[in-house]
């Protein structure tokens, strides 16, 4: 059964979520020393992640777990408990919630599954625990959640031991596995996180609650959502629209096909919403909608690291002509404009390149080895008022090719000086580092983004931070990714401009 986006008046209570995301003490109910159990994975992650508050394992059968004293019951803990994680079977949860409320626990992360995502009995049980927690004024995340990550509190409390660095991107994901995958990718690609919430079934707290919290969270600048259902539809759009004026909201909606909707219902008990209604609401609220998980990560890198472009006019600087052609096509299809560059810029760039260079936008560097011209070309375009953003292709990533050449030369030419080869590799590394610093300096000077595309796959990640700078270098693997991110950033600027 499908429902239209509507205002659900059944939930209008707001909760203080500070103790959920910045607790001073935590209890793990169902803590275990058995490897691979939820109680073991979450507890060991919290300890291993360096949480500085008090940690209380709760297990009636064990006295010591992970070197910490274990308690039989939450009410046996002789200290205040801000946040409790529950990993015990679903049938035990109502009684445990009552005990937590008696103890004065301020919030719950309910990892346990077996609720509305299963059957009618599970739905009834879920309604029961919601009633308990509303009556006792104890907010909970979940059930059926993978946990939370709050890097600024050094709280890493998920089943997967991923520990992204502190940053400005908040992830709220109704799918724990998808959320954990994105967090892992973010860690690998150098994208900093302010918060991760596996929202699970959204039984008590939902996206509106998290958005209201994130609006005032000083660490969060970008919000990423994976949702399978929208509760409090009208309020969700109103909240997202208000928040979007200050912080971009980017959404991947699961279950937009018949097969996906059926999967969502069995996954989190989510009700389907008509896709056309949802998309219309997103557009009105200025929400950026994406189709695949990788786009969430790509946009996270761009929005967290680059200035937002103030128009759709793009300059392209490319190491080779083919890349420029492909990127031009992508720009045209995404509504980005490539203006012809004026004569004074052509004249300046011509002093560095052979006479057969293209003398137009894209600026084809014809495979030059001149180390100065890439920066000169990028700055000339940024300086020009007719350009809002620059896409730079192929400068970063040459280091990997130099390293391959050095390895081959070492194997086949024993007469080649090892010291010389070492210097070539060091020089290439230093040049890339200096190029990134220069690009970041130019972005801060002109307040225009430079979106990079790496010549090769690197181990350095997509985001390349520069100490002491508010922007970072961003280098995607493909031109189409760079263009897509830039087009979404332009769309967000259009929403901001229209307010």
**In this structure, what DSSP letter does residue 453 have?**
E
27, part of any domain: yes
Q: Is residue 345 located within the same domain as residue 381?
A: yes
Q: What is the pLDDT of residues 388-435, one digit of tens each?
A: 999 999 888 888 888 899 999 999 999 999 999 999 989 888 989 999
One domain, residues 352 and 374: yes
Pair 295, 337 in one domain: no
Q: What is the pLDDT of residue 436?
A: 95
Nearest to 141 by CA among 96, 111, 109: 109
d(CA 414, CA 428): 22
Both 283 and 314 in a single domain?
Answer: no
Q: Would you say residue 2 has pLDDT above 50?
A: no
| 282, 401: one domain | no
DSSP string, 214-268: HHT-TT-SEEEEEES--SSHHHHHHHHHHHHTTS-EEEEES--SHHHHHHHHHHH
pLDDT class of 457 with cuts at 50, 70, 90: confident
Tell me the C-alpha distance between 113 and 118, whole Å: 9
Within-domain flag for 8: no
356 lies in the same domain as 289:
no
What does the block give as tokens for 92? 């035990």
Point out the domain boundary residue: 304, 331, 358: 304
- Select from 304, 332, 355 the last residue of a domain: 304
Q: How many residues belong to the chain?
A: 499
pLDDT tens-digit profile of 150-193? 999 999 999 999 999 999 999 999 987 898 889 999 999 999 99
Q: Are residues 287 and 354 in the same domain?
A: no
pLDDT-based confidence at 200, cuts 50/70/90? very high
Contacts of 296 (CB under 8 A, 6+ apart): 171, 182, 224, 226, 250, 252, 290
CA 244 to CA 214: how far, in whole Å? 11
Are 250 and 329 in the same domain? no
CB 184 within 8 A of CB 156: no
The reply to whether 152 and 251 lie within a common domain is yes
Contact 143, 93 (CB under 8 A): yes
Would residue 207 count as lying in a domain?
yes
Residue from 383, 355, 359 nearest 442 by CA: 383
The residue-averaged pLDDT of 101-129 equals: 96
Alpha-carbon span 293 to 262, nearest angstrom = 19
CB atoms near residue 343 (< 10 Å): 10
DSSP state of 340: P
Cα separation, 14 vs 30, in Å, equals: 29
pLDDT reported for residue 398: 81
* Burial annotation 457-485 (CB, 10 A radius, 16+ → b, else e): ebebbbbbbbeeeebbbbbbbbbbbbbbb
Residues 292, 311, single domain; the answer is no
Domain contains 296: yes
- The answer to whether residues 232 and 312 belong to one domain is no
In a domain, 336, yes or no: yes
What is the pTM assigned to this prediction? 0.87
Residue 5 falls within a domain, yes or no?
A: no
* 3-class state of residue 118 by DSSP: coil
Q: What is the CA radius of gyration of the chain?
A: 26
**Are residues 299 and 410 located together in one domain of the fold?**
no
361: containing domain: 307-498
pLDDT digit string, tens, across residues 264-275: 444 444 444 566
Average pLDDT in the chain: 90
CATH number, domain containing residue 365: 3.40.50.261
What is the count of structural domains for the chain?
2
245 upstream amide cis, omega within 30 of 0: no
Place of tokens 């508050």: 53
CA-based angle 290:168:228, to the nearest 5?
A: 35
Confidence tier at 56 by pLDDT (50, 70, 90): very high
Task: Give a yes or no: residue 6 inside a domain.
Answer: no
Res 113: pLDDT: 95
DSSP state of 307: P
How many CB atoms are closer than 10 A to CB 145? 28
Q: Establish if 224 belongs to a structural domain.
A: yes
Q: Which residues lie closer than 8 Å to 137 by C-beta, 6 or more apart?
A: 15, 101
Q: Which of 240, 274, 304 is the last residue of a domain?
A: 304
What's the token pair of residue 369?
């080895």
What DSSP letter does each residue of 273-339 carry, written as one string?
Answer: B-HHHHHHHHHHHTPEEESSHHHHHHHHHHHHHSPPPSSSBEEEEESSHHHHHHHHHHHHHTT-B-P
Residues 6+ apart with CB under 8 A from 351: none
Pairing of β 25-29 and β 140-141? unpaired
Mapping DSSP to helix (H, G, I), strand (E, B) and coil, where does residue 169 land?
Answer: strand
């Amino acid at each position: 059964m499908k429902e239209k986006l509507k205002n659900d008046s059944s939930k209008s209570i707001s909760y203080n979520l500070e103790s959920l995301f910045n607790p001073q003490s935590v209890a793990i109910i169902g803590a275990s020393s058995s490897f691979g159990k939820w109680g073991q994975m979450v507890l060991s992650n919290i300890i291993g992640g360096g949480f500085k508050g008090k940690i209380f394992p709760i297990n009636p059968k064990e006295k010591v777990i992970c070197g910490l004293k274990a308690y039989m019951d939450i009410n046996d803990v002789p200290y205040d408990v801000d946040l409790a994680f529950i990993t015990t079977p679903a049938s035990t949860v109502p009684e445990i919630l009552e005990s937590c409320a008696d103890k004065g626990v301020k919030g719950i992360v309910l990892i346990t599954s077996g609720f509305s995502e299963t059957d009618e009995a599970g739905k009834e049980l879920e309604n029961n625990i919601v009633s308990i927690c509303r009556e006792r004024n104890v907010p909970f995340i979940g059930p059926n959640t993978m946990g939370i990550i709050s890097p600024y509190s050094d709280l890493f409390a998920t089943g997967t031991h991923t520990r992204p660095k502190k940053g400005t991107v908040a992830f709220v994901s109704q799918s724990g596995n998808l959320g954990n995958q994105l967090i892992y990718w973010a860690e690998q690609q150098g994208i900093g996180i302010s918060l991760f919430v596996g929202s699970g079934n959204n039984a008590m707290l939902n996206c509106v609650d998290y958005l209201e919290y994130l609006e005032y969270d000083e660490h969060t600048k970008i919000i990423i959502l994976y949702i399978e259902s929208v509760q409090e539809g009208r309020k969700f759009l109103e909240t997202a629209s208000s928040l979007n004026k200050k912080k971009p909201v980017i959404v991947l909606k699961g279950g937009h096909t018949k097969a996906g909707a059926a999967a969502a219902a069995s996954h989190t008990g989510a009700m389907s919403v008509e896709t056309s209604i949802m998309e219309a609401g997103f557009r009105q609220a200025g929400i950026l909608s994406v189709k695949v998980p990788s786009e969430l990560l790509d946009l996270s890198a761009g929005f967290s690291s680059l200035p937002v472009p103030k128009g759709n006019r793009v300059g392209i600087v490319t190491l080779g002509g083919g890349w420029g052609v492909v990127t031009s096509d992508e720009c045209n299809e995404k509504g980005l404009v490539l203006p012809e560059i004026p004569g004074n810029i052509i004249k300046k760039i011509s002093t560095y390149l052979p006479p057969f260079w293209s003398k137009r936008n894209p600026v084809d560097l014809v495979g030059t080895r001149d180390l100065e011209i890439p920066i000169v070309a990028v700055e000339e375009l940024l300086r020009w008022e007719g350009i809002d953003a620059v896409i730079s292709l192929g400068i970063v990533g040459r280091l990997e090719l130099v390293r391959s050449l050095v390895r081959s030369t070492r194997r086949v030419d024993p007469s080649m000086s090892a010291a010389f080869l070492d210097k070539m590799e060091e020089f290439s590394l230093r040049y890339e580092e200096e190029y990134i610093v220069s690009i970041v300096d130019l972005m801060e000077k002109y307040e225009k983004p430079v979106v990079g595309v790496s010549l090769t796959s690197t181990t350095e990640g997509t985001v390349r931070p520069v100490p002491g700078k508010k922007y970072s270098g961003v280098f995607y693997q493909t031109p189409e990714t760079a263009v897509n991110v830039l087009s979404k950033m332009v769309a967000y600027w259009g929403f901001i401009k229209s307010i």
